[in-house]
Amino acid sequence: MTLSVLAHLGLVLVGAVLTFAGIAKAMEPAFFVSHLKNLRLLDERLLVPAAAVVIVLQAGLGAALLLRLWPAVLIPAAMILLLALASLGYWSTATGRTADCGCYNGVFTFSPLQSLLLDAGYAALLGFSWWSGIPAAESRGWRGAAVLLTGLGAGGMALGLLRYSARHKQAFFELSPIRAGRRWRPDWLPAGAVLPAGEGETLVVFLGETCPHCLRWMKVLNTLHALPDLPSVQGVVTLPDAELEGYRARVGARFPLVAISPWVATRLSRNTTPTAVLVEDGIIREKWVGSMPKEFTDRLRATMPAPRPKADADSSDIPDRNASSITRPA
């Protein structure tokens, strides 16, 4: 394989990555805007314009590299952009402002070091392509139009979807892999998660360490997990393993908990807590964000035993799902 072919392949790879990153941000722009907000570098009035500019630049620049449009100028520009974004992403994760670099809008997540190495690798590929002297493509007219269409189209889509989200209080596209109708993949959570291998229901709940709504859910989740005719509960928390038991004691959780890394939480729950998914027979049947649907809370109330007189009631009235006297029906 000649050096010229390698240089062209590197240009195509980096161009495709930049185009994908821009379009991924455009498909779920509210999540990217929240990422920019967490950086705490811009006034809130500038967040949406800044998001649109980044999306247009990434998608347009990626398309220009794919089409070999003005490589002598755009390859160095792309290298500078990649190194700047890599530095910003590493700083934001190192300071705890964001969970990941935000490069792919949560579709793919990498540790801070992995993201830095990837961006450095992309910059090196571009440097090799530039050094090889890749010639500019001919027929620049339609290529330039395609680049403008890609960049401005991605920016326009982002602004339109932001307006849709504001009006309907939900995203038009959902890039998280946990969606209703999909099969639950056991490798989404680390070892130790308690999920039904076949038949059965489990409510997987993503909780935040300082999330006030999560604390309001805690009594309901404990009761839910204790009743054998309702779904079991599996809690997921963005914490180091060593802090898991301390969190359990602090919030009074009486159901299994597992810890996941911040960048995995970004991909699965979009860092929105509480987020819950109802897994039935290995399939995600429902997904809730922020509140439980009335149909489910009605089901919980209908299954709960009649309350004892207040004078006699205490915490021992909540049955323990793990006790030998409680078994699920076969």
pLDDT digits (tens, 9 = 90+) for 174-201: 888 998 899 998 888 887 777 755 568 8
- Give the CATH superfamily of 186-317: Glutaredoxin (3.40.30.10)
DSSP state of 234: E
Average confidence score pLDDT of the chain: 86
Where do you find CATH 3.40.30.10 in the chain?
A: 186-317
46-88 per-position pLDDT tens digit: 999 999 999 999 999 999 999 999 999 999 999 998 988 888 9
Give the pLDDT score at 58: 95
H helix runs in 132-233, sequence order = 140-168, 212-226
Give the pLDDT score at 298: 87
Q: Are strands 201-207 and 275-280 parallel, antiparallel or unpaired?
A: antiparallel
145-160 per-position pLDDT tens digit: 999 999 999 999 999 9
Q: Does a cis peptide bond (omega within 30 degrees of 0) precede residue 29?
A: no
Question: Is the pTM higher than 0.85?
Answer: no
196-231 per-position pLDDT tens digit: 555 688 999 999 888 888 998 999 999 999 988 889
- State the helix-helix crossing angle for 71-94 and 3-27, rounded to 10 degrees: 50
pLDDT exceeds cutoff 90 at 299: no
Does residue 288 come out as left (phi exceeding 0), alpha (psi in the -120 to 50 range) or beta?
A: beta
Residue 86 exposure: Cα atoms within 13 Å on the Cβ side: 18
- State the helix-helix crossing angle for 112-131 and 71-94, rounded to 10 degrees: 170
Q: Say how far apart CA 212 and CA 210 lie, in whole Å.
A: 6
Would you place residue 309 in the very low, low, confident or very high pLDDT band (cuts 50, 70, 90)?
low
- Give the total residue count for the chain: 330
Q: What is the mean pLDDT of residues 5-13?
A: 90
Q: Which two tokens stand for residue 111?
A: 């540790």
CA-based end-to-end distance of the chain: 62
